[in-house]
Amino acid sequence: MQAAASPATSSIPALQADAVSKAFVSGHLRTQVLDNLSLRIEASELTLISGPSGCGKSTLLAILSGLQKVDSGRVRALGSELGQLDMRALERFRLEHTGFVFQGFNLFPALSAFEQVELPLNHMGLSRDDARERARRSLDEVGLSPRMKLRPSELSGGEKQRVAIARALAKEPELLFADEPTSALDAANGQMIIDILHRIARTHGTTVLCVSHDPRLVVHADRVLSMEDGRILSDRRNQTPVIDSKVVPP
């Protein structure tokens, strides 16, 4: 009865991994990070990949976003097989279709919040006016309009992460990848960030894939995949994910 609980198997997933394996080699030591892993990520949902540090979840996110290549297997994103794209096409795909949010915020110290958000839009062929309007709109959506002229040193950790989300959101991506977005934040800011990400999935139709070992995030996701030793151990759906109606302070 509820489409969200049982996505149509005939629909094309936003992300798909088929029998993906990945290992890292250092000298004579070979570490298997992903082991014949397969999964489908449905569109317009917030999917959380959880698990202990070193379980392979960040590597999986990097592979699904095209930042790393697989040793074997196949990865498809929005219907495109990433392994068949050359470096230039892959960079263009990431620029046009994806957004990223990282644990360390990845902000430029000398730029204001507004300039941080506007910068990637200048590489997308938008006019100056369109880029500025998108930047303003995205900062307003995460509650940072009053702080848009401030630099990272003048912002709190939670505000820095909201700038990073606004920067990703302004690109209007179909895919949004978040790698440990709350690990550097306290409980209140962590909940705010995950609820913003969930709202983006709901209101923009964006596919949001978040990896984290933070147990606070589990109840907020539409779907939770638990990983250990490079494999998915469990896959469950939350029928009614928790969403805080007071996500962003005025």
Q: pLDDT tens for residues 71-108?
A: 999 999 999 999 999 999 999 999 999 999 988 899 99
Write the CA distances from 10 to 7, 13, 47, 124, integer angstroms. 9, 9, 19, 33
CATH number at 115 reads 3.40.50.300
* pTM for this entry: 0.88
In a domain, 197, yes or no: yes
CA distance 55 to 1: 35
Indicate whether 3 belongs to any domain.
Answer: no
Residue-averaged pLDDT of the chain:
89
- Asked whether 48 and 210 are in contact (CB, 8 A), the reply is yes
Which domain covers residue 143, as residue numbers?
42-66+84-237
Query: Burial level of 111, CB count in 10 A (0-12/13-18/19+)?
Result: middle
The pLDDT of residue 194: 85
Residue 228 lies in a domain: yes
Question: Is 37 inside a domain boundary?
Answer: no
pLDDT for position 184: 83
Phi, psi of 39 (to 5 degrees): -165, 165
Question: Is residue 20 a part of any domain in this protein?
Answer: no
What domain count does the chain have?
1
Name the token pair of 192. 């705010």
Q: How many CB atoms lie within 10 A of CB 43?
A: 17
Q: Is 193 domain-assigned?
A: yes
What are the phi and psi torsion angles at 26 (to 5°)?
A: -130, 105
Nearest-5° Cα angle at 118, 113 to 122: 155
In a domain, 247, yes or no: no
The pairing of beta strand 15-26 with beta strand 29-41:
antiparallel
Helix (H) or strand (E) holding 185: none
pLDDT in tens, 163-181: 999 999 999 999 999 999 9
pLDDT above 60: residue 185? yes
Is 72 contained in some domain?
no
Please give the residue that has the higher pLDDT: either 66 or 246: 66
